[in-house]
Amino acid sequence: MFESFGVLNFWTYLAGLVLIIIVPGPNSLYVLKSSTSHGTRAGYRAALGVFTGDAALIFLSFIGVASVIKASPTLFMIVRYLGAAYLLYLGCKILYATFWQKKMPSTDDQPVVVKSEKIFTRALILSLTNPKAILFYISFFIQFIDFSYSHAWVPYLVLASILELVSFMYLSLLIFSGYLIARFLREKQVLAKLGNCTVGTFFMGFAAKLAIFSH
């Protein structure tokens, strides 16, 4: 379908891409958490951080930096442990905010304002420190690029655009699902705390898996 743009086996790429994106991970979980806790705008700010991180990793893959990181066990280990440490930090922060942090009461029924740059930055860091994403771009992603094509950046751009589009559709589904969940939990504080506790525990579990069980 996109052979004229240097893309190989497009439908195989699309099927594999969809399956990879819908598998739960820290990026999608953070987008869902942002939407549930702070609304759809916050969810899209988190999604923007994920999109930016994906774009940066695709560019690094294009210029060969991602391959260098993967080829160096030390560099790859540093990225892996940085990602695990950040996931652990987010998990602990969520649990702390759920059970111990005193919430400031809002005045005149105005919602508490959340700094947008924090949500974007956290999502961006999660994306950039995800070693599985690096592996994705230097193992799965490049299998569908015809390197004999005269302009190598064209298939990269095509595949990246498709990835971002599929990711946008999936994250949008999560964002609006999070909004509906938030409306349901608004008057059910016990369930809300249980949900936050579950999310925080998942982040800590991702951190443990990344630090201990990844190779």
First to last CA, the chain: 36
Per the prediction, the chain carries an average pLDDT of 77
User: Considering the domain boundaries, does residue 142 fall inside one?
Assistant: yes
**Residue 106 confidence (pLDDT) above 50:** no
Please tell me the distance from the alpha carbon of residue 110 to that of residue 135, in angstroms, as a whole number.
Answer: 44
The b-or-e profile of 181-201 (16+ CB within 10 A means b, else e) is bbeebeeeeeebeebbeebbe
As a whole number, mean pLDDT of residues 89-116 equals 56
Confidence of residue 110 (pLDDT cuts 50, 70, 90): very low
The residue count of the chain comes to: 215
The b-or-e profile of 47-81 (16+ CB within 10 A means b, else e) is bbbbbebbeebbebbbeebbbebbeeeeebeebbb
User: Considering the domain boundaries, does residue 8 fall inside one?
Assistant: no
Strand intervals (E) in 28-111: none
Task: Tell which phi-psi region holds residue 6, choosing left (phi > 0), alpha (psi between -120 and 50) or beta.
Answer: left
User: Considering the domain boundaries, does residue 203 fall inside one?
Assistant: yes
User: Considering the domain boundaries, does residue 9 fall inside one?
Assistant: no
- 29-125-42 Cα angle (round to 5): 50
What tens digit of pLDDT does each residue of 155-174 get?
A: 889 999 999 999 999 999 98
Q: Side chain identity at 175, as an amino acid letter? A: I
CB atoms within 10 A of CB 31: 29
Confidence of residue 45 (pLDDT cuts 50, 70, 90): very high
User: Considering the domain boundaries, does residue 185 fall inside one?
Assistant: yes
User: Considering the domain boundaries, does residue 122 fall inside one?
Assistant: yes
Nearest to 144 by CA among 51, 25, 54, 61: 61
pLDDT at 80: 73
Domain containing 204 equals: 26-99+112-213
User: Considering the domain boundaries, does residue 180 fall inside one?
Assistant: yes
pLDDT at 169: 94
Number of structural domains in the chain: 1
User: Considering the domain boundaries, does residue 116 fall inside one?
Assistant: yes
